[in-house]
Amino acid sequence: MPESGETRLIQGRYRLLDLIGRGGMGEVWRARDESLGRRVAVKCLKPMGPQHDQSFTRVLRERFRREARVAAALQHRGVTVVHDFGEHDGGLYLVMELLEGKNLSQLLEDNKQHPLPVADIVEIAGQVSAALAYTHEQGIIHRDLKPANIMRLTDGTVKICDFGIARLGHDIGFTARLTGTGIAMGTPHYMSPEQIGGDHVDRRSDLYSFGCVLYEIATGAPPFDLEDAWAVLVGHRDTVPEPPRTHRAELPGFLDRIILDLLAKEPDERPRDARELARRIDDGRSPSGYVPTVTATPLRQAVVEPQQPVSREPRLPSWTRGMTTGHKAAGPPVLRGTPPDAGAGLAGEWIARPESRRSEQPVRTERPTPAPEVVAHLAARHNAGLSLGRLGRWEEAGEVHRAVAAEREHALGPDHPDTLASRYEVAFTLSRTGRPADALREYRRVTEGCERVHGPEHPETLGARQEMAYVLGQLGRHFDAHQVYTSVLATRERAMGPDHPDTLRCRHNLAYNLSRLGRLEDSYRMACEVASARARVLGASHPDTLVTRCEVAYALGQLGRWTEALRTYREVAQAREQALGPDHPDTLAARYEVGISLGRLGRSAVALALYRDLIDDRTRVSGTAHPETLRARHGLGVNLGRMGRWEEALAEARDVCAIRARVLGADHPDSLVSRREVAVGLGWLGRWADALVEYRRVAAAREQVLGADHPDTLASRNDEAHCLEQLGRGTEAVELYRRVAALRRQGASGGH
C-alpha cells in the first residue's frame, strides 16, 4: 500500500494522512473521509511480494474480507466500529472509527511495566467482559486477545480492537489451514491450552486469553513470562500459575479468584461465559463482596486561627463548631495541639485511668509538680512545632516535637495528656517525612497511653488508632488497616451517632480506603452518601461538605468518569471561592484537581494554562518554596511531558526536585517523586545512562526509608531494571526483575 499519505486517496474518498500502527497483517493509517469530513482509521493489508504463491495470497485476502464482514456487523460500545471495507489498486482496506487513547500494552509501557492501579483493572475487566459477552453471542471468537488489542480511550471507554483472526464460531479450522500448522494463530503469552494443542476452540478460549491480560495488567507481567516461546506454550499447557496476589498483595481477593478461574487448564473449569464473568465482577464490586473498612483521621483539632467564614447555614448542632476535615486523598490533615483545658493536669497532680489487670483503684502519680513557667514554655515550643508543620517544614517540626516530648515525659510522666500530645505530633511528622514504620511504632505508644488514661472509646484514643491505621496504609498494609478502621467506625457510630462530624469523617475516609481496595463503585456510593449527610448537618457550603464532594470527584476519576469528575471539581472550586475566597488553600487545591482532570482527559494544553495561573497564585499566597506551589509546578512538568516537550519538562522536574530536597529533605516522598520525574524525562530524551543514576538513587532512598519489599521500592527497582534493558544490559535487568519478583512473593507470604 502507500509509501506516503500526503496525496494518496483510497477509492477517491479516504485520504491517508499518517501511519499510526503496523502489525503482522498490515498497516493502520490516520485518514480523513473526504465525503463526510470526519477523521477515520484505515487498515491496509500488507502487500504480498513475489515470494508468496497465489494460493497463500488468496487465503490472506479471504481472511481480510471475512474480518471486514464480521467486524462491520458488530455494534457495541466495547467493540471498534467498522465503517467501510473494500479493495483498491489490488490492495484491501478496512475503514474504522479513529480511537483516541492507548492500548493496554502502551499503558503498561508508559508505566514502565508496573501494574495498573487496582481501580483501572477492575473497570477494564468489567467493560471487556461486557464486550466479549456481546461478541460471543454473535457467534464470534476473537482468538487473539492481548493487551495490544484492548484500547482505553481518553474518556475511559474500553474497546476490543482488531478482530484480525476472529471468525464465526462454527468455522474453527480456517486459521490452522492458513498457517499450514496444527497450531492456531495467536500470541504465545495469551494462548489457551486448547489453542496450543490445536483442539476445539470456543468462547472459553477468549476467556483464558483475557485472564492472561488481566494477570499482566494486575502484576506487570503475563502468567508465564519466559523468553523462549516454546517454554511459554508449555507453561500454558502444564503449569499452574502463581496467584496474582503473590506478586501484589493489595489486589482484592475476588479479582485474584476470577483471574485464576479464567486461567483454568480445562475449559469446563472456567467461567461458563462472559456474562457470568461480568456478573462476578459486579458482585465483587458490590457491598456484599467486602467487609466494611475505615480510613484514618487526625487525633486532635489544630490550634490554628480558623480561615473559614462562619457558616451561613442556620441552626447547626453545637458540636459541629470548629470541626476540621481530617485526612483525605488530596491533601494533608489538620493538626491540633495540646487540648486547652488546664484541668487536664498542667498544674498539679493528675489521675491516670487504671489498667484492667491492676487494682480497681485510681493510681496517684508520685511525680513532683513542675513549675508553671516550665509548663508554659513547653506549650509554647509545642505550638512552634505545629507552626513549622503548617509551613511544610516537617523535619524541623519533628525535631521540636521530639525534644518537647522528652522534656514533658521527664516533667509530667509518660502517660500525661500533654506528653501523649507531643508523642502524637512526633508520629505525625514521621509519617510526613516518609518514615511510616517509625510513625507506626510511635502511634502504638500513643494509643496504648490514651487507652490507659482515657479509656478505649475516648475520642483521643480513637483518633490515635485511626492515625495508626493510616500509616499502616502508607506501608501498603491495607488489609491490616482495614481491621482497625472498621473497629473505630463502629465505636464512633455507637458512641456519637451516625451524623456526628467525627463519624462522618470516618466514613469520608472509608470512601477513599474502599478505592484502595478496588471497590470503586462502593467508594463512589459512600462518598455521595457522606456528602449528602454533611450537606444536611453542616450545610451545602460548609468546608467539610465540599471536601467530601472532592472525594466524590476523586471516585469518579478512579472509575474513569473524568468528564463528571472535572465538572464536580469545578463546582467545588467555584463554591470554595465564594465561601472562602479565591486565595484560600482549599480553593487553590480544588483548582489543582481541575488540572489533574484536564490532563487525564487529554486536554494538556488547557491544563498547562491552568497550572501556570495556579503557580502564580500559589507563589503570591504561600511563596515559591511552599509544598503546594511545588505540587502545581510538578503538574506543569507532567503536562509538558504529555505534550512531548521533554526538554522543558526535564528542566521543570530538576528545578522542583532541587527545591523539594532543600525544603522537605532529599528522601521525602515528594522529593523522590520529582527525582523519578527527572529520570523519566532523561529516558524520553534517550539519555538512559543518566536516567539509570536517578532511578537508582530513588530506589536506594525508598529501600532505606520504606524497606526492600515495599511496593514503592519494588516499583523503583522495576524502573531501574527497565533502564538497564534500554542500555542493553539484559542480564543485569533479568536478575533485578527476578529479585523484585522474589521480594513480592516474600511480601505477599508475610501478609494477607
Q: What is the 3-state secondary structure (H, E, C) of 622-659?
A: HCCCCHHHHHHHHHHHHHHHHCCCHHHHHHHHHHHHHH
* Secondary structure of residue 323 in the 3-state scheme: coil
- 467-516 per-position pLDDT tens digit: 888 888 778 777 787 788 888 889 988 888 888 888 888 888 888 878 77
Contacts of 449 (CB under 8 A, 6+ apart): 414, 415, 419, 420, 423
* 68 has pLDDT over 80: no
**Spans of all domains in the chain:** 9-97, 101-285, 294-305+324-342+371-490
Q: Catalytic amino acids?
A: 144
Question: Any binding-site annotation on 43?
Answer: yes
Dihedral angle, C-alpha 475, 481, 484, 490, nearest 10 °? 140
Inter-axis angle of helices 585-600 and 562-580, to 10 degrees? Answer: 160
CA distance 143 to 166: 6
Out of 311-315, 402-406, 606-610, 683-687, least confident range: 311-315
Sheet holding 101-103, edge to edge: 101-103, 150-153, 158-160
The CATH architecture that domain 9-97 belongs to is 2-Layer Sandwich (3.30)
Phi, psi of 199 (to 5 degrees): -85, 180
State the greatest distance between any 2 C-alpha atoms of the chain, in Å, as a whole number: 103
- 574-585 per-position pLDDT tens digit: 999 988 889 888
As a whole number of Å, the CA-based R_g of the chain is 29
Please state, rounded to an integer, the average pLDDT across all residues of the chain.
79
Locate 202 and state its grid cell.
470456543
Pairing of strands 167-168, 140-141: antiparallel
Locate 751 and state its grid cell.
501478609
The pTM for the full model equals 0.47
Q: pLDDT confidence of 364, banded at 50, 70, 90?
A: very low
CA distance 628 to 622: 8
Q: pLDDT confidence of 656, banded at 50, 70, 90?
A: very high
CA distance 540 to 235: 57
Higher pLDDT, 317 or 255: 255
The position carrying cell 464490586 is 285
Q: pLDDT confidence of 75, banded at 50, 70, 90?
A: confident
CA distance 223 to 462: 43
C-alpha distances out from residue 384 to 172, 334, 376, Å:
76, 15, 12
CATH superfamily of 101-285: Transferase(Phosphotransferase) domain 1 (1.10.510.10)
Pairing of strands 150-153, 140-141: unpaired
- pLDDT recorded at residue 381: 85
Residue range 294-305+324-342+371-490, CATH number: 1.25.40.10
The closest of 417, 511, 499 to 461, measured between CA atoms, is 417
Helix (H) or strand (E) holding 379: helix 372-390
Locate 216 and state its grid cell.
499482566
Beta-bridge partner residues of 153: 101
Tally Cβ neighbours within 10 Å of residue 180: 8
Burial of 100 (0-12, 13-18, 19+ CB in 10 A): exposed
**DSSP label at residue 695:** H
Residue 600 CA, distance from chain mean position? 13
Pairing of strands 91-97, 14-22: unpaired
Locate 453 and state its grid cell.
488514661
